[in-house]
Amino acid sequence: MKKLSIAIDGPAGAGKSSVSKILAARLGYAYLDTGAMYRAVTYEALERKLERPEDIVSMTEKLDMEVKPDKDVMHVIVDGKDVTPYIRTPEVSGHVSEVSAIGGVRTAMVAIQRKQAEKGGIVLDGRDIGTTVLPKADVKIFLTASVHTRAVRRFKELTEGHPEMTMEDVEKEISRRDYLDSHRDISPLKQAEDAVLLDNGDLTLEGTAEAIIHICRSRFPGFDA
Ligand code: CDP
Ligand code: CDP
Ligand code: CDP
């Protein structure tokens, strides 16, 4: 059986990265968290205090970005430095949608993503995988849940490090990012025509992974997980 390329798109807190990791481990596939790449560019732009899109693009084009899968989390190495611990702060989350709306930033990231995916046997999660990065992916899932459900999930994760954030703040921040990501001109967050819509509001992470494996089996008889 050939190794599939699996695209998982959807809004923040849908469970994309958690489910992608479960799938990749179970299938023995690679995993690429494309959101982490946009977060790393955003972190670097903030560090260098760059605001103008053209400056952010020229910085991005010169970055040496490496992605390294690990057991738990995908590491992003920028110019030799592992920036993974710094890319999920509220500050980066608050700027990432603006940075990732810049065309030149997307062109550079998409090139790296396609290169990683060229041999198949990979699960990619993001916003534009099924529509732009891999329009010919073998299996495309659009994973979602209500804004409230997603905010509750994120709130649980965040409260430890940031007790100052309220549930309302988290829900607002997620809605804002969903809006910006869905309304940008280039590669907006959107379900690909041939993607399967999966609302996992009532599913566990394991249940969601199982549902996706079921979809792979129904598309590719002989697919074994
Ligand atoms: O995990 P969470 O949903 O909070 O976000 P993420 O997947 O880490 O993505 C962070 C941001 O990167 C998103 O809100 C998008 O603005 C951007 N992104 C994108 O534009 N295209 C992708 N393929 C992945 C992420
Ligand atoms: O990558 P994305 O932003 O789509 O979501 P995530 O970071 O994988 O998931 C956000 C949080 O929701 C994590 O803490 C997951 O464990 C949790 N989650 C859950 O408990 N049940 C689900 N069906 C999906 C996500
Ligand atoms: O360089 P060239 O124009 O031949 O290739 P590209 O722009 O990288 O990709 C051509 C088309 O194939 C685009 O629609 C890509 O999105 C798609 N593609 C894909 O579906 N899967 C890949 N692994 C690479 C490209």
Q: Report how far residue 61's alpha carbon sits from residue 75's, in angstroms, rounded to the nearest whole number.
A: 19
Atom of ligand 2 nearest to the CA of 200: 23
Q: Which of 2, 109, 110, 114 to mutate to test the pocket of ligand 3 (most atoms within 8 A of CB)?
A: 114
- Domain range 5-218, CATH class: alpha beta
Closest by alpha carbon to 44, among 117, 100, 118? 100
Residue nearest to atom 18 of ligand 3 (CA): 134
pTM of the model: 0.90
Q: Would the CB of 12 count as within 6 Å of ligand 2?
A: yes
The minimum-distance atom of ligand 2 relative to the CA of 157 is 14
14 is known to lie in a ligand binding site: yes
Query: Is residue 28 within 8 Å of 123, Cβ to Cβ?
Result: no
Q: How far is CA 45 from CA 29, 91, 102, 224, in A?
A: 31, 12, 12, 43
Query: β-strands 122-126, 139-144: how paired?
Result: unpaired
CA of 174, closest atom in ligand 1: 4
pLDDT tens track of the chain, all 225 residues? 789 999 999 999 999 999 999 999 999 999 999 999 999 999 999 999 999 999 999 999 999 999 997 767 899 999 999 999 999 998 999 999 999 999 999 999 999 999 999 999 999 999 999 999 999 999 999 999 999 999 999 998 876 666 778 899 999 999 999 999 999 999 999 999 999 999 999 999 999 999 999 999 999 988 887
